[in-house]
């Protein structure tokens, strides 16, 4: 009987229509007319296939069962005795996280795989990488049991992502026995990434991860994936079913209502179709005690009333019907009949029915009913029911070829960056640092357009995998230890417009395909063994005298030009002396804008300074250098004139340092130098005028300045960070500002941030040393404590100061307040973090108008910048990326949909009470 049932199911599948529903039945068609000999042959063949089908299903083929937190050196894999499932350590599927165990009182009640856990104190996004079968539906189930493993009794809350898309939120508050998240999903590639994303101050955890490939053509949707709402079998038993009762390891929860009557059978029930529900689930059923009443299951989804549902109904007639008895009923969804033909369950055979398209409920109130027809003598019967909500994953994954290429590059150079997990490009707030990607709509796979591995400690040859990034526009490999020749394939990447290879040990010659490319910027300085294109080899066929004559002629012309220029310059008045910046140095900063005209810095006489300021009439500021006056140049261009007072704590050394720096740098987020005065005792710097004052004024509201909102603060922080990043990696030699604070961040008419006051700036070496010893200088409160104690100045000193600035922008608290119990701002914020309430830290002047996720992320970034140990602080490049992603989050103000773990109906919500704890039956 099973053989014939499976044969017909194999032939017809679940595509036979019954009204608006599909039918997956083992008994389709009325008659089979075959020759006896053919039938016997077919029986043998199909019998073999059935046995193979069952053996494959029972063998856990394709199953992934990860015991998260199980140390790799412990017994792995092992067979869990209660279920017979084979579990392995998750250590080879993820490179981050630490391991822990639930407390002993809970551990004794759990199956072994759920008593251990992996937690993730570092990074925002941590991801598992799993192999799957493209185009096939997979059951994906994750278990989370906190079990107070850390002894602090603070249940975590975090987000779960499937690839680049949010799946659900895991909130373990009040979930003593833990929770699970389950979904049916069809991967679009042969890999799957499941990511835990930190959203607050608690630490994400995971106990177990289970992947099960499903039967062909099962759980298919019009669009999206299926998120488990509930899965029940109707019985008075208290047991739940899973593997090996269910060959796909679905979990079936026992459910029964008091107005039902329980029926069951000891006979074998055929269960072979595309869904293969457990035989034990089909051997039991419920019917209404009052035979004239419908069988009703109701639930309410008030959190997500617009959810769409797919409902799978499993029927098998398990009662002996007399000759005059009939069981026939209609399925009704919120008062609407679901199919044009009534259901007649088949004797001891599975009948699975499901909707072709999703259904919705009125205001989140759902009612599924089975109502007997007029000619039926028996009440309706239901064996098992599965209900899923539709979840859309609209964001396309990064182009698979780009993903493979960047992972090969990562492997080639042994890169171990904490945020190089999950999808490289999306979502934007988690994009890998050092990358930029094309901004396309969500339905188009993003492409990697920029790769910046400058100063990343790369060794060996230029990775061949780079050629597979076929949409690459910018490539920066500067300041590494790369060797070998410049590969020809770089010239074949047609999209490349910028290549920076400077500061390596490359050799050979530049390929002609690069030298002849129109519009390509190629930087290669600092490679002493690399042949420059400016020095062509001696052309063949030319005699030695000809070369000598040509060289002498060129030298003579050059001498004449120099003499003419000298005579011309001597005729110029001293007051019109022009100071030219030094020749362009090795450019290593890939985001440096290209100025169209070389800026000329003028030296002004003191008389002209007095004239431009109208005898210093309007004082707009004052600092350690002296007063700052408003002025105009050429009658229209507004400037700020900083005058060195005789009593200033800063002197000519600082004055010269600022002139020297600003003569050779230019960046949109640095205040530009218009000119200077150096006449006897009169020293002055003439800057572009920045009309909106400094950031400190806009945080305090003093002087009538407006209070900037959270989004503007994030943008200002990102722009200031860009200015510092340029000083650190865009200048040659690199520079340390040494006095980063809110009063040195100025705002123009559009509130664009511009770093100012470079009098204390110092260059620092590159290569083996990352610091320089110097006399301690800076502003108390902002001063790097490590620099203060060691006198060793480096770029991380600026990072510390910037972290303090960021804490100011977040909290609007004084950096040092002797009236506070915790006088320094880092101490105060640290004490407030213990409460876990960011509202107590955020500036009350923001009135709660901010995205909490971006606020938490900015706060964590600020605290990492202000770490007392410089080695633990991020680089400014990392800070820029983090702040940009905070800004994206704040601007989007996304409200991520929250998943449901249970039904709100009192009679149905009990379904999950026993399911949450993965215990033995």
Catalytic (active-site) positions: 739
Q: Which two tokens stand for residue 185?
A: 């999903």
Task: Give me the residue label for tokens 């199953």.
Answer: 63
Per the CB < 8 A criterion, the answer to whether 44 and 52 are in contact is: no
30 annotated among ligand-binding-site residues: no
Per the CB < 8 A criterion, the answer to whether 383 and 233 are in contact is: yes
Task: Give me the residue label for tokens 């119990």.
Answer: 821
Per the CB < 8 A criterion, the answer to whether 735 and 670 are in contact is: no
What is the CB-side half-sphere exposure of residue 709 using CA atoms within 13 A? 8
Per the CB < 8 A criterion, the answer to whether 421 and 123 are in contact is: yes
Q: Which two tokens stand for residue 47?
A: 């019998």
**How many residues in total does the chain contain?**
921
Per the CB < 8 A criterion, the answer to whether 513 and 488 are in contact is: yes
At 849 the three-state DSSP class reads coil
Bridge partners (DSSP) of residue 579 are 601
Q: Which two tokens stand for residue 443?
A: 């339905």
Nearest of 773, 911, 881 to residue 124 by alpha carbon? 881
Q: Which two tokens stand for residue 712?
A: 């503007």
Determine whether 702 is exposed, middle or buried from the number of CB atoms within 10 Å of its CB (0-12, 13-18, 19+).
exposed
Determine whether 568 is exposed, middle or buried from the number of CB atoms within 10 Å of its CB (0-12, 13-18, 19+).
exposed
Per the CB < 8 A criterion, the answer to whether 372 and 378 are in contact is: yes
Q: CB within 8 A of 432, min separation 6: which ones? A: 406, 417, 419, 420, 424, 425
For β-strands 78-79 and 86-89, DSSP reports them as antiparallel
At 699 the three-state DSSP class reads helix
Nearest of 261, 266, 367, 384 to residue 316 by alpha carbon? 384
Q: Which two tokens stand for residue 513?
A: 């395909």
- Which helix (H) or strand (E) segment holds residue 43: the answer is helix 36-58
DSSP label at residue 219: S
Q: CB within 8 A of 270, min separation 6: which ones? A: 1, 2, 5, 6, 26, 316, 348, 349, 350
The Cα 893–Cα 908 span in angstroms is 34
E strand map for 503-581: 508-509, 521-523, 530-531, 578-579
In Å, how far from its chain's centre is CA 657?
Answer: 41
At 583 the three-state DSSP class reads coil
DSSP 598-635: ---EEEPPHHHHHHHTTTTT-EEEE-SS-EEEEEEETT
At 753 the three-state DSSP class reads strand
Instruction: Tell me, letter by letter, the H, E, C secondary structure of 1-12.
Output: CHHHHHHHHHHH
Q: Which two tokens stand for residue 339?
A: 């199919």
Other CB atoms within 10 Å distance of the CB of residue 680: 7
Nearest of 335, 329, 300, 333 to residue 317 by alpha carbon? 329
At 259 the three-state DSSP class reads coil
- Sheet containing strand 165-171, strands side by side: 125-131, 191-198, 157-162, 165-171
C-alpha separations of 662 from 278, 590, 835 in Å: 76, 20, 45
Instruction: Tell me, letter by letter, the H, E, C secondary structure of 312-342.
Output: EEEECECCCCCCCCCECEEEEECCEECCCCC
Residues annotated within the binding site are 642
Residues annotated within the binding site for ATP are 642
């Amino acid at each position: 009987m099973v053989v014939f049932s499976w044969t017909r199911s194999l032939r017809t599948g679940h595509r036979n229509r019954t009204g608006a529903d599909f039918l997956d039945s083992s008994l389709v068609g009325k008659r089979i007319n075959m020759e006896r000999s053919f039938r016997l042959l077919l029986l043998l063949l199909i019998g073999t296939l059935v046995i193979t089908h069952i053996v494959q299903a029972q063998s856990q083929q394709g199953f992934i069962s990860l015991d998260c937190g199980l140390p790799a050196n412990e017994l792995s894999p092992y067979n869990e005795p209660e279920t017979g499932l084979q579990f392995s350590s998750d250590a080879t599927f993820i490179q981050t996280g630490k391991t822990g165990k639930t407390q002993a009182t809970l551990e004794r009640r759990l199956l072994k795989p759920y008593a251990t856990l992996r937690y993730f104190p570092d990074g925002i996004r941590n991801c598992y990488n799993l192999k799957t079968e493209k185009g096939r539906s997979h059951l994906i189930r994750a278990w989370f049991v906190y079990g107070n493993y850390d002894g602090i009794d603070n249940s975590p809350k975090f987000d779960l992502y499937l690839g680049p898309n949010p799946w659900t939120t895991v909130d373990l508050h009040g979930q003593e026995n833990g929770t699970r998240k389950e979904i049916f999903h069809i991967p679009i590639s042969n890999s799957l990434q499941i990511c835990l994303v930190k959203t607050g101050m608690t630490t994400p955890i995971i106990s177990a991860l289970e992947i099960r490939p499903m039967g062909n053509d099962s759980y298919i949707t019009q669009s999206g994936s299926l998120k488990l709402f509930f899965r029940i079998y109707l019985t008075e038993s208290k047991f739940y079913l899973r593997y090996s009762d269910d060959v796909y390891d679905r979990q079936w929860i026992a459910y029964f209502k008091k107005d039902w009557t329980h029926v069951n059978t000891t006979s074998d029930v055929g269960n072979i179709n595309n869904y293969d529900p457990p035989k034990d689930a089909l051997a039991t059923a419920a019917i209404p005690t009052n035979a004239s009443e419908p069988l009703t299951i109701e639930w309410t989804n008030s959190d997500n009333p617009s959810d769409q549902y797919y409902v799978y109904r499993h029927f098998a007639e398990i009662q002996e019907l007399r000759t005059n008895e009939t069981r026939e009923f209609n399925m009704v969804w919120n008062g609407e009949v679901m199919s044009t033909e009534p259901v007649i369950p088949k004797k001891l055979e599975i009948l699975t029915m499901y909707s072709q398209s999703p259904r919705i409920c009125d205001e989140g109130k759902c009612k599924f009913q089975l109502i007997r027809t007029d000619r039926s003598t028996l009440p309706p019967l239901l064996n098992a029911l599965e209900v899923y909500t539709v979840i859309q994953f609209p964001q396309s994954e990064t182009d698979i070829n780009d993903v493979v290429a960047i992972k090969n590059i990562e492997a080639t150079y042994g890169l171990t960056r904490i945020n190089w997990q999950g999808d490289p490009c999306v979502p934007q707030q988690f994009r890998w640092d050092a990358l930029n990607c094309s901004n396309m709509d969500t339905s188009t796979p993003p492409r990697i357009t920029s790769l910046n591995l400058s100063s990343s400690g790369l060794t060996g040859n230029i990775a061949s995998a780079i050629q597979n990034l076929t949409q690459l526009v910018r490539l920066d490999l500067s300041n590494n230890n790369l060797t070998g020749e410049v590969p020809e394939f770089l010239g074949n990447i047609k999209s490349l417009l910028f290549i920076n290879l400077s500061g390596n040990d490359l050799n050979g010659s530049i390929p002609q395909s690069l030298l002849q490319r129109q519009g390509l910027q190629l930087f290669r300085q600092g490679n002493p063994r690399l042949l420059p294109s400016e020095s062509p080899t001696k052309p063949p066929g030319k005699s030695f005298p000809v070369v000598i004559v040509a060289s002498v002629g060129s030298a003579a012309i050059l001498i004449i030009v120099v003499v003419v220029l000298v005579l011309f310059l001597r005729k110029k008045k001293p007051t019109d002396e022009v100071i030219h910046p030094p020749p362009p140095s090795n450019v290593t900063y890939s985001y440096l804008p290209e100025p169209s005209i070389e800026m000329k810095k003028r030296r002004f006489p003191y008389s002209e300074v007095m004239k431009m300021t109208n005898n210093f009439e309007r004082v707009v500021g004052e600092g350690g250098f002296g007063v700052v006056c408003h002025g105009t140049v050429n009658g229209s261009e507004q400037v700020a004139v900083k005058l060195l007072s005789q009593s200033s704590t800063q002197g000519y050394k600082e004055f010269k340092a600022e002139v020297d720096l600003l003569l050779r740098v230019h960046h949109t987020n640095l205040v530009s130098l218009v000119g200077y005065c150096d006449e006897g005792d009169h020293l002055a710097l003439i800057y572009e005028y920045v009309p909106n004052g400094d950031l400190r004024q806009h945080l305090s509201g003093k002087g009538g300045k407006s209070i900037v909102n959270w989004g503007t603060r994030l943008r200002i922080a990102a722009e200031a960070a860009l200015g510092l990043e340029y000083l650190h990696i865009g200048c040659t030699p690199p520079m340390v500002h040494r006095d980063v604070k809110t009063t040195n961040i100025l705002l123009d008419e559009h509130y664009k941030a511009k770093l100012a006051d470079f009098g204390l700036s110092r260059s620092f070496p590159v290569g083996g040393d990352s610091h320089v010893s110097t006399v301690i200088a800076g502003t108390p409160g902002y001063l790097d404590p490590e620099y203060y104690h060691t006198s060793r100045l480096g770029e991380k000193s600026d990072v510390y100061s910037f972290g303090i600035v960021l804490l100011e922008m977040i909290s609007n608290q004084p950096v040092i307040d002797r009236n506070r119990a915790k006088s320094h701002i880092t101490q105060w914020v640290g004490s407030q973090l213990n409460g876990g309430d960011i509202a107590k830290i955020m500036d009350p002047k923001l009135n709660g108008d901010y995205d909490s996720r971006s606020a938490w992320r900015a706060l964590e970034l600020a605290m990492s910048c202000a770490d007392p140990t410089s080695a633990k602080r991020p680089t400014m490049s990392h800070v820029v990326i983090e702040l940009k992603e905070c800004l994206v989050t704040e601007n989007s103000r996304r409200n991520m949909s929250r998943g449901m773990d249970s039904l709100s109906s009192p009679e149905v919500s009990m379904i999950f009470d026993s399911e949450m704890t993965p215990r033995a039956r």
